[in-house]
Chains A and B, each alone.
Chain A
Amino acid sequence: MAVTPVDIAAAPAATRPRDSAWTVVWRFARKKPLGAAGGVLMLVMLVTALLANVLQTHDPIATDAASTLARPSEDHLLGTDHLGRDIYSRIVHGARVSLIVGIGSTLLGSVLGGVIGLLSGYAGGKTDLIAQRLLDILQGLPLLVLALVMSASLGPSIQNVIIAISIPIVPRASRVIRASVLSIREMQYIEAARALGLTHLRIAFRHVLPNTVGPFIVLVTAQLGAAILVEAALSFLGLGVPEPYPSWGRMLSVSAAEYAQKAPHLVLFPGLAISLAVFGSNLFGDALRDKLDPRLRGA
């Protein structure tokens, strides 16, 4: 049987009592208080998204002509917008949209880019060169500009927004994974696997891939915040998530700006929600990067 790197890594761990998941979390929180705070923020967002129907006080898309632009009160915790819709309930449901689009596009882009990076880094030579030049093309445009053109050409829907944001992530993901594949490729156990006559595909996916998990997780958390921000910007411009889904970005759009002076809460709260969500994932991502991939520290 082939001895995989996973087996070797697991061996010494077995002799020492395994730490429970809670101990690991607790140690992380003690060492990285800021990262833990970020993790809590992300957890809050996740719970909000899952329990949006329970946490809401009003129907997020029901309009109420009698109370438009109401200030925050007991009935409407964060006030209402120009159509009388409850801002609090809309923000709670917006967490759902932001998370679905954020996680969906980040995972799609990272997996796609990761596979390309893995194969092109492992193959090397001309394949690698061509793949990298092709990805350079996608990286020649700012993330938002490419996402903008993509989402305009695909048409407005949640799936299309996810695709539009994921494509610009592909070259970034591929670069990170490729860099770590290049160093893993030269390891002795890869040579051993080759000597055993394993196929290239098997070596790439079974022996190289598991060792890129660290950088991959770091990459995903780092891109999540950016993806949420791009979704907000696209929706703000009217090219993102369509009605009737309440999206934080669209809540800030032109109509909100129009009433901003009369009702500042229209602008303040959705923006705070975006900022806190992205802040949380950035804090968490930073701490995770320090922990999993010290070489990238501060980069």
Chain B
Amino acid sequence: MKTYIAQRLGIAILTLFGMSVVIFVLLRLAPGDIVDVLFSAAGYVNPAEKQAILKELGMDKPYWQQYVEWITQIFRGDLGKSYRYDLPAWQIIRPLIPVTIELAILSTIVAVVLGVPTGMISAVRQDSTLDYALRVFSLAGLSMPSFWLGMVIILALVSWLGWIPPLTYVRPWENFWLHAVQFLLPALAVGYRSSALIMRITRSAMLEVLREDYIRTAWAKGQNETAVVWRHALKNAILPVVTVIGIEFAFLIGGLVVTETVFNLPGVARFLVEAILWRDYPIVQNLVMFIAIVVILSNLAVDLLYGVLDPRVRYAS
């Protein structure tokens, strides 16, 4: 198990390193830089002035040097300086993280609460009308852009209840209920989409397990449906579901990029879009690395959880 963890960690670190190269190169390919954006309003850029700014930001150095500086900075815990705000990047990113994490956790809860039971019902009542209805419902969730769903939810609230959700971010200690509603709405929009994947995987895993011999034995012993489904079947069907939940948690962040923009929540994902539009390299680089770390850590967590949930995996390795 220990060598297994070490191996997984090694691969994770290599992947992160590769990711940093990819991101760095991609951003240097981008047409235009911060100076162009800053001066686009003026319509004219004084070449000497531009050179001075580039020099001040360290952008006149060769690319390899810029890259090495970035990586050594990260190792020192220094995330560089935002070109746009002229502030340390960490100072800007730090308050954004809890917003996104809270949203991601809430969305995951919505997805699991919605996805696992519907998947189980669908499997137990395979090929019934209910099964078809639930499958169409979940596929619909997979088909709607979550940001559009968010817009429709807001529209519905406004036109049916005459209630306009707060347009600016409300901190939990200012007004807890308003804060909860503000986060629950995007969590519903994003969670519904993820629930579709969880529902499908739960359904197929359950279907497979329900055909096993030991389930027939359980039925033959005269156990009732609740015991068979919850106690015997679910335990073995949950493994692939956990994998999907882990993968989804990471990918939720992708979905949040647009949803945070729609709901005007000051999270990491919305800020990433702004930083990209501003060509604010230090912010973009570090935010993308942050997302990559979250993705890779949650994949790692899933791998390790596997061993805990399924003794067969533990003994095999």
Contact = CB atoms under 8 A, between A and B. Distances in A.
B295 A140 contact: yes
Contacts of A133: 11, 14-15, 18
B30 A152 contact: yes
Interface stretch (A51-59, A65-73, A277-285): A277-285
Contacts of B155: 260-261, 264, 267-268
A233 B22 contact: no
Interface in A225-283: 225, 229, 232-233, 236-239, 249, 252, 257, 260-261, 264, 267-268, 271, 274-276, 278-279, 282-283
Q: Chain B interface secondary structure, helix, strand, loop or mixed? A: helix
B276 A274 contact: no
Given A152-B30, A237-B257, A299-B201, A271 B144 contact: yes
Interface stretch (A77-85, A105-113, A141-149, A190-198): A141-149
A180 B299 CA distance: 24
Contact of B151 (A144, A145, A267, A286): A267
A249 B146 CA distance: 12
A141 B291 contact: yes
**Max count, chain B CB within 10 A of own CB: residue among A153, A154, A260, A278:** A153
Counting chain A residues whose Cβ lies within 8 A of the other chain, the interface size class is 35 or more
Given A133-B14, A145-B254, A298-B207, A274 B148 contact: yes
Q: Is the interface of A mostly helix, strand, loop or mixed?
A: helix
B151 A299 contact: no
Nearest to B18: A137
Interface string B81-95: 000000000000000
Contacts of A31: none
Nearest to B12: A140
A142 B247 CA distance: 10
A240 B225 CA distance: 51
A245 B173 CA distance: 46
A252 B143 CA distance: 16
Q: What is the interface residue range for chain B against chain A?
A: 35 or more
B246 to A, nearest CB: 13
A182 interface: no
A136 interface: yes
A232 B145 contact: yes
B142 A225 contact: yes
Interface centre among A136, A137, A238, A279 (most CB of B within 10 A): A137
A252 B147 contact: yes
A34 interface: yes
Given A153-B26, A271-B152, A279 B272 contact: no
Contacts of A149: 23, 26-27, 276, 284, 288
A136 B15 contact: yes
Contacts of A297: 204
Contacts of B35: none
A150 interface: yes
A100 interface: no
B19 A271 contact: no
12 contacts: A137-B22, A140-B292, A142-B291, A148-B257, A148-B273, A152-B276, A153-B27, A261-B159, A271-B144, A275-B143, A286-B139, A299-B201
Instruction: Sort A-B residue pairs by CB-CB distance and give the 10 closest, nearest first.
Output: A298-B204, A142-B254, A271-B148, A137-B18, A279-B143, A153-B30, A144-B254, A278-B143, A152-B276, A275-B144
Given A142-B295, A239-B276, A260-B154, 13 more contacts: A141-B19, A142-B253, A142-B255, A145-B253, A149-B23, A154-B30, A238-B277, A260-B155, A261-B155, A264-B159, A274-B145, A278-B142, A299-B200
